[in-house]
Structure 1
């Protein structure tokens, strides 16, 4: 697999977390999102873990559009999660608080979204991305800052603090270097659709294949951000057409166009399904 491509991850850009102990929400989540993350970890209280696993068994979703977030390796719930998964048709797991390749290998029978949300996980992201069964890396801002002893991943104006900006870039670069998908972290200020839209536009422009979310109302905002602007697609097609008769670097509407710009154009046209 070449760097910069991620064919193994085809679930779409708008991904929604759903607490696994709330089966009455499963169908609505699946209807609203491109893919659903059934969460057996943070969204479920310790006393509700067993019930969440049973709900996952009793209320199946489409495996092609479902990711199961299991509890971290080393917790008592991790082996119970894996045992329950064996009774389902699900093939993709999100491994919470992934920090080492040995943890990924404990779910060797599954496609893995490695969730890098601790300092060690961020630092080991390149090695995690290189594992054969890893299809994507995601980063988690709040758990990361908590692991460092901090109290907030963002400034009061909504901008990420420098450590979060670094972690976000590090995970995306690690994913891209191994040809895997990067998934952007959730936007927790649910009423702030404008902030979510801006962050989602930045995610797609930077190269994230998808953005995770925590509320169904965030789905259309993310989808709109990932939908290519029609005028930009028209321009990209024109650049590619001009390149067919050009020799090396050329000028298009006053802009220098070389191979990196052609790759941008090809990726934009591909996102438009053309």
Structure 2
């Protein structure tokens, strides 16, 4: 991902639990910044990168990602103490998500129909995303197209790696509950089955390895049994590949 220095902190997005903010970059772009110093930790940033990359590979629109380099000087001039503390904890490399000006939240109207909705549902089931309900759809409509955003609540398995990398087979067999999903009512079983057959042909270990190559080394925190970025990338590939080979997780 491109490395972009942050030139200005604009405003917080207080509806987010991790207090993301709008920032401007040296490339004149405007980004939603997910901070490394937020309470949810670096693994949320890793999940964002992985699932965003998978979304693009299965034919979904998701905003461009960059690495935002945040300097200590930026925190010094922030008046809000809560934000100043967050910026100070986040000096270094953070995640930037391209800001889509004028986009509005999903309201139930599907711009591209059921096939696209089935791809969103499939991706969320595959990645075990628990955060795409009507309470928080994490879908935007921009220029008449549907965009998927905010994937940090996916890939929950890595939050249990404190004592070491677990068993990929356990994640592979874990069912996913679709009952609360914002798109479940519009995706019939035949459409989901067709998308499942298509996407299983598009994904494999090589694709997963390419996806993990997009994650910066310094966001891959060592765990027992996987102390290097290379070992952690291999662990993620194992988990994703095992999930792809299973079928019990699909609604």
Q: Which has the larger radius of gyration?
A: 1
TM-score tier (shorter): under 0.3
TM superposition score normalised by structure 2: 0.25
Higher helix proportion: 1
TM superposition score normalised by structure 1: 0.23
Name which structure has the greater RCO, CA cutoff 8 Å, separation 6+: 2
